[in-house]
Amino acid sequence: MSLRIALSDDHPVVRVGVRALLESPPGLREAWQVVAEADNGDALLNLLAATEVDLLITDFSMPGSRGGDGLAMLGQIRRRYPQLPVIVLTMIGNVPVLRSIIEAGVEGLLDKAAAVAELPQAVRAVSQGRSYYGEALRPLLDSDGRPLGERDPLALSPRETEVLRLFAAGQGVSQIAAQLHRSKQTISRQKTDAMVKLGLKNDLEIYDYARSQGLPS
């Protein structure tokens, strides 16, 4: 039986590479077919509404969507398609962001650079109802010694982390509020709370922190 896969990434070369990897199985590997592709969050949600798929492989950060990317996009997918297995590909190496992605309900999480080596394993595991976290990401996820799902009370919340990510990517408070469907006052408070927790004094220090943590992707 063929596994119908939806693929979403804002870089065409990534989609071409992933499709070629999935649809050129060595030997007698399972039949996998990429049945639809999207290049941003809005197109992905439209795709899922119109196409029956068994598995989604998606980038985490795809700027330019009115409905948002990142955690906002994953939240919409989980609410609309709670049974759909999801694998996220990302270049982000920030531990709170990685944990937030997993807590958003995805079953697979891979570093993009390792996709060629690990994606077939991840697809096989996730399609069989198991979780798969890439080898390069496991040490990061284990680095603070806490089980997945257990939060450090002093760490940024997923919402604070997402606000900083979008701010560092060049969006203003009003844009972030519209994308995340929150008030400007809420976004400003979450930005301020995050700065206090991290000891950041101004916007320039936010950009420096985000760059050092790999938040924009």
How many Cβ atoms from other residues are within 10 Å of residue 207's Cβ?
18
Sketch out the chain's domains with CATH numbers.
3-141 (3.40.50.2300), 158-213 (1.10.10.10)
pLDDT in tens, 74-94: 988 988 999 999 999 998 887
Cα separation, 134 vs 34, whole angstroms: 21
Given a cut of 60, whether residue 3 has pLDDT beyond it is yes
Provide the 3-class DSSP secondary structure of residue 68: coil
pLDDT in tens, 121-148: 999 999 999 999 999 898 888 775 555 5
Q: pTM, whole model, 2 decimals? A: 0.71
Between 178 and 31, the higher pLDDT residue: 178
DSSP code of 112?
G
DSSP string, 164-185: HHHHHTT--HHHHHHHHT--HH
Residues 6+ apart with CB under 8 A from 62: 8, 9, 10, 39, 40, 41, 44, 69, 73
